[in-house]
Amino acid sequence: MGSGPPSDPRMRGFSRRTTVDDALRWISENAARCEAETVSILDCCGRTLAQDVTSRVNVPGFRRAMMDGYAIRAVDSEGASAMNRLPVRIIGQVLPGEQSELRLHSGEAIRIMTGAAAPEGCDCVIPVERTEKGDDDNQVFLVESLTPGKNVARVGEDISADNTVLTTGRVLRPQDVGVLSSIGVGEVSVVRQPRVRIVVTGNELLPPGSIPRDFQIVDANSPMLAGLIQRDGGLSQNPGIIPDNSAAITEALHDDVDIVLVSGGSSVGQEDFAPSLLAEHGDLAIHGIAMRPSSPAGMGTLGRRLVFLLPGNPVSCLCAYDFFAGQAIRLLGGRSPNWPYRSVQLPLRRKLISTVGRVDYARVQLIDDQVEPLAISGASVLSSTTRADGFIVIPSDSEGFPADQVVEVFLY
């Protein structure tokens, strides 16, 4: 077991707060990549490569036609135009997937389809639309002059044997999977997806899909977290809302997973058991972070598990996940730790005030290519994130930004 927090902060507040930089440093030191596993080519899309992939073959492995038309010799098309049609004699046809014994000689052409092997003697393919019908079925007129190699893919033009095709850490897209299949890969070594237990506590909570009633509210955090975990390449587990009592929370903390996300019960209220339980059974490395929102966030370890304490207020929960837990999930899954958000640089429409000594996460809208601040506070107003186009981060050494200053906006 670890040393635990400096003191129990319940009903007293935090005696000190960790900087965001120190929290991120702790994550980088503790979030080791999961081991590799082998999966079928049919199941690898969206997974992270665990090792480089080198092609054993050339693609294409033969010279092939890139157009429907006629295989010819470029020299036979010299000077051809609509005003100077040059005749060639058709000696046969080549279809995809078949080997032809035909060989071109001067003044000859072979009908050929896209993907078919270019016959001997052919050095280009003229598209059918650049020809005109001849005097009989065995003749065609060329109306365009071609250069050698035109519309013929050479051996290895797409992929050369012994070349690295995809590198470690790449999140496989559908087109990547297609490339792997094209070089004969049937199984792929990928990083095992981190298993993430969502622990949502609160006696006031109703399950997702319920209608709010009396003095109870519906759990918004678990479906939000499940979507974020999926986005970051993790596998979420969420058996349901956990009662606000030590025994139930302790049992959930010990689930056989890689990461535990505790949402709610992580601050300094009388019923906030999670921090002290983590300190008792594991190591509460950080509790209380100099940022807004999400200042009650914390993190630590329990055995080989990483545990993140996320505030119950939805915006704070989202912010703490994005800053900390999401980065850890991506690292365990072999992905880049960076935010999976595009960013743009635009000027502020009005000033945005902050406080030196803490990092602020401000939701913003984009209006007429300018940035309109929505909120820094309002940790329970989840709709502010749906109205927002993104967010900006105000560093701890800043008092904010004046109107017209260009800022970086991370787009949701």
What's this model's pTM, rounded to 2 decimal places?
A: 0.85
Mean pLDDT over each residue of the chain, to the nearest integer: 92
Q: Where are the beta strands (DSSP E) in 184-297?
A: 187-191, 195-200, 205-206, 217-218, 235-237, 259-263, 283-287, 291-292
The model's pLDDT over 96-121, given as tens digits with 9 standing for 90+, comes to 999 889 999 999 999 999 999 999 99
Give the strand pairing for 69-72 and 124-127. Answer: antiparallel
- pLDDT category, 376, cuts 50, 70, 90? low
How many Cα neighbours within 13 Å face the side chain of 255? 21
> Contact, 206 vs 218, CB < 8 A?
yes
Type of residue found at 121: G
For residue 298, give the nearest of 275, 322, 268, 327 by alpha carbon. Answer: 275
Residue with tokens 């479906």: 223
Which domains are delineated in the chain?
A: 20-35+193-332 (3.40.980.10), 37-59+159-191 (3.90.105.10), 64-153 (2.170.190.11), 343-411 (2.40.340.10)
For residue 202, is pLDDT > 90?
A: no
Q: What is the pLDDT of residue 273?
A: 86
Helix, strand, coil % in the chain, rounded to nearest 5: 20, 35, 45
Q: What is the pLDDT of residue 16?
A: 80
Type of residue found at 57: V
The model's pLDDT over 209-258, given as tens digits with 9 standing for 90+, comes to 899 888 888 999 999 999 999 999 999 999 999 888 899 999 999 999 99
For residue 82, is pLDDT > 60?
A: yes
- Bridge partner list, 391: 363, 410
The model's pLDDT over 273-303, given as tens digits with 9 standing for 90+, comes to 889 999 999 999 999 999 999 999 999 999 9
For residue 188, is pLDDT > 80?
A: yes
